[in-house]
Each structure stands twice: as structure tokens, then as C-alpha cells.
Amino acid sequence: MNNTTRFITIAITILLFALIPLFNKNMYHIDLLVTTGIFVLLALGLNVIVGFAGLLNLGYAAFFAIGAYTYALVNLHWHVSFWPGLVISGISAAIFGALLAFPALRLTGDYLAIVTLGFGEIVRIALNNLDEITGGPNGLLGIAHPTIWNGESFGVNPVPYYYLLLVLCTLTALALARLEDSRVGRSWVAMREDELAASCMGVDLIRAKLLAFGLGAGIAGFAGCVFAAKQGTISPDSFDFILSVTVLAMIVLGGLGSIRGAILGAFVVTLLPEMLRGFQMYRMLLFGFALILMMLFRPQGLMGDIKHREELRKSK
């Protein structure tokens, strides 16, 4: 696929998604797509850490929580509005991502997974116990919704959140696509395949890991800010270990290292249980069974083959 064809395909896809609220007036469906958009952001961010750089992270929900609580705290205590709060949340989560990378610099595989798992649980437990700051198990209430230039609030209407997430997901995916072909992206791929060989070829592993953790965490911070602003209330229960595993399942299902795969995986994992709602008693069982079949018969993921062919073509 040449660049012109790819540009046209992307433009048509974005246009079709932009037209959905005009033809589908069901607010439940739009709200479900808003939830999917938040998961798309999370999947894109985790794909940077796990898919691009090959660093297994089982505590990714912690960065989502940090972004959400950062916006909630600066909004409630300093009356910072959503738009600067979005930037602050992303930066805050990115800083914590870089801080987590420091003790994990010499770790790989299972050991790295244990460290990130521990970090995720530390953040969740801290949010539960710092009652005076985070509200403890009850969380924080009264978080302001986003407003547009004339001061009109988004409120609880899912349509403006849908378009906000469509813009954020599009910009994030395009930026990651450019980054993937850059020197940084190449260093991540080299590090993912063989850290020793990458180091011998001149790749700065410390810098590469810090950038991967920081960027991936920052994207989760943006998602957390949107989540907090939409809900108007947050609690630690929304950021548990299951969320981290769910996002990891999305990128594995779509194909590790594939941007399109991360997006597709987020849609499948979010929407498939809803499509099985008619089988209320068995839908999660059927969903789990579908994932098992997927891993047995297509372990490379839905877009894994396409991603592999593109990497081979670029290397020629």
C-alpha cells in the first residue's frame, strides 16, 4: 500500500467514524464507543511499552489512575479546567512512568513483570488509604466536565466526548506511526528483539526504556483525564489489576507492535462482550473461550502477519 492509498484509507475511516453520531442517535451506543475510545488510547500506550519496546508491564492501570487523579485533584483544589488538566495529567503520568523505569532498567521478562505488577498494586493501595488526599475507597466527587470556548459544558452527553476521543486517538495513532519509523522506534524494535545485540549496535538502552515507559504512561494519563472528566467521579476500584490484564489482552489479540492491531483489539475486547449480551449468563464464558481459540489458532494476533510483512518490506 503506497502513501497516497494509505492516506485516503485513513481519511475515509476517520470520516466514517465522525458520521456515526449523525446516523446513530442511540446514546447508549455512543457511550459504548466513548468507552472503546478510552480503551483504544490505553491500548496504544501499552503497545509502546510492550509491543514496540518489548517491556512487559502488568501494572499499566496505575498510569491510568495517576492521570485520572491528577486531573481530579488539580480541578477540585485549584480549579484547573479540563484542557490544561489534560496536559498536566499526561505529564504527571509520564514522570511516574520514567520513575518506574529506573529500578526496572536491568530487569527483563518475568522479573520486570513482577516489578510493574507491584507498582500497580502500590498505587491502588495508596489511593485507597490516602483518605485526606484521594478520598480513600469513596474516591473523589464533583470533578468538572470539559467545556468549549463559549463556556458550555460537555455535561453527560456522550457525543462531545466521542469526538474528543476520536481526535485524541487519531492524533496519537498518527504520532506513533511516525515515531515507529524514526530512530527511536527502530531502537525500540532492536531492543525488543535482542537487548545485547542492540547495545552492541550503539542503542542507548537506558534512554530507550525511559522513553518507552514515559511515552506509554503519558498516553494512559491522557486517557485517565478524559475518564475522570466524563465520569465526574473516580474511585480506586476503577483501576485494578484486571484492567491492566484487559488492556494487555487487547494488544496481544490485535498483534504486538501493530498500531492498527491495538486499535482493533480494543474494539474487539470492548464490544464483543456487549454483542454477547443476549447470552447474559454465559457471555463472559464465551468471550474467554473466543480469546483462547484466538491464541491457539492465531497466536500472532489479528494484525500480526501484516505487521511482520511491513517490517520485512521496510528492511529491504
User: Which pLDDT score is estimated for 176?
Assistant: 95
Quick check: is 265 in a domain?
no
pTM of the model: 0.93
User: Which pLDDT score is estimated for 297?
Assistant: 81
pLDDT along the chain (316 residues), means of 10: 77 94 94 96 96 93 98 96 97 95 81 92 95 94 91 92 97 94 92 89 91 97 98 95 92 90 92 77 74 79 64 53
**Burial class of 219 by CB neighbour count within 10 A (0 to 12, 13 to 18, 19+):** buried
Quick check: is 260 in a domain?
no
User: Which pLDDT score is estimated for 5?
Assistant: 81
User: Which pLDDT score is estimated for 277?
Assistant: 76
Quick check: is 249 in a domain?
no
Quick check: is 188 in a domain?
yes
Query: 33 is in which domain, residue-wise?
Result: 6-241
Nearest to 172 by CA among 39, 32, 315: 39
Quick check: is 237 in a domain?
yes
Identify the three-state secondary structure at position 194: coil
Count of structural domains, the chain: 1
Quick check: is 114 in a domain?
yes
**Burial class of 244 by CB neighbour count within 10 A (0 to 12, 13 to 18, 19+):** buried
Quick check: is 316 in a domain?
no
Question: Any idea which residue has 455512543 for its cell?
Answer: 30
* β pairing state of 140-141 and 233-234: antiparallel
Quick check: is 79 in a domain?
yes
